[in-house]
Structure 1
Amino acid sequence: MLSYQHEYHAGNHADVLKHAVLALVLRALLRKEKPLRVLDAHAGSGLYDLGSREARRNAEFEGGIGRVLAAGDAPAEIAPCLEAVRGCNGGSALRRYPGSPWLARSLLRPADHLVLMELHPQALAALHRLFGHDPQVHLHARDCFEGLPALLPPPERRGLVLIDPAYEDKDDYRRVVELLAACHRRWATGVYLLWYPLLRHRPGARLPARIAALGLRRVYQVAVEVEGEGHDGLRGSGVVAVNLPWGVDAEIAALAPWLWRTLSIQGRGRWSAGWLVPE
């Protein structure tokens, strides 16, 4: 389905959690000198104008990255994400928000590579404008459910895969688990981040248990809910990580309660973080 447009939601609380985790994982992987490859299975547009009609319609970023930037007690664990946000704004006021492609590219070194998969024509055109002349970025107009396993393992044999579909189709909740299993069979040592939304009457809350049942090792989960379970909209989101780099679990566990306190609507919702399957 190609009707989803992330421009309406860029910088919201779900983006903040996903990108904070992504930045921490990338920073950990980059501590080793060997080159790596990042594969973004649902790249989106890469960079979002928060002054656009779409972004201003519900101004979801005000309750997400806006709150984080306004907080006076931001912990060190959110710094890598905020550096990317400030970087794409030139250090000035919040006008743009970096999607995962922009965030990842801003961190990579000269020998690293970024693979972006996207099917939406508008988003794909935006990616070409941003990265079309960048030799370290490889664009694929390809369905990740079909094409992602074929790109694994990467030549570098190091890196991570980000899986974060829009979940417009209820069947995607099943398909992402199957996709993760297929990718892991081809590249068992890769780091995988699977983002999922928490919505009423949708099975997102069951995704971590389904992934834990795959028989994989080192499976970690974090979730931040800013509204109660009876909320009709997006009450929160989570990330399941497979092969999380050493030490990042402690960073996420320290960050999650702060994100909840900062993003929660009048103290509603909750947070959770911990190992689903240890070593």
Structure 2
Amino acid sequence: MSSSRFVAFFGATGGCTNAALVHSLNAGIHATALARTPSKLTDMLLAQGISQAVLDSQLTIIKGDIASVPAIKSVLLSKDHTLASQIISGVGGAPVIQWGLKFPVTVDNPEICATTTKNIVQALREIYAEQPTSASQKPSILVISSTGLSDVREDVPCGFRFLYHVILKVPHKDKKEMENLVAENSTSTEEVFCGGVVVRPSLLTGDQSVNNGKGLLKVKVGNEDKPAIGYTIHRADVGAWIFEHVIKTGGEEWFGQRVTLTY
């Protein structure tokens, strides 16, 4: 992989993040990605029309998982110790149905989003200790969260409020902690990230295929003060928005925001 600008991806086998990675590779952007099973990620990208030549020249896949800070450091640094300019994290757990009215839905790893973010922060702190880094050299981070977490305005339609505020309470607690970690480490005097963006899509549908979304013209965009309220959005369109408005541009205009995406 070239030592020029590159983007680090976590959760790249997930629909939204995978779609964003596909758009990035098609645009000639270099990337790194963490994957427990690299062949799974490679097969997903080949199925979307990314050539083996592009994979070989633009993508570095690090085998490992989010519990390993050394593996995360390998994703964040190129071989010549250049630091990623942006971090895209779409890590999430698989839903698990359980008996009980209080928490009927949990996930297989109920702290996976917060743990990933903590470990990214730790990895960056270790990198900064090893190679002093100016504020302008630090990466930004974008994390994929969910609607239903706002402390400012309701961003979920009435028909989905029981689902979001009761049934999904456990996974949403994890995502809220993740959001807080991004904010804390983007604005403090010892900031780890040069900026942070939280994307809150409504209920996700479809897979990662970039050809199956409705298109960005159908996507409504809001923020915490004026959320875009809707029922669903396709994973491919979330990935396309992340690429067009954050990866492609640097995303500075969205730093510090919690962006709602829906139809």
Q: TM-score scaled to structure 2, two decimals?
A: 0.47
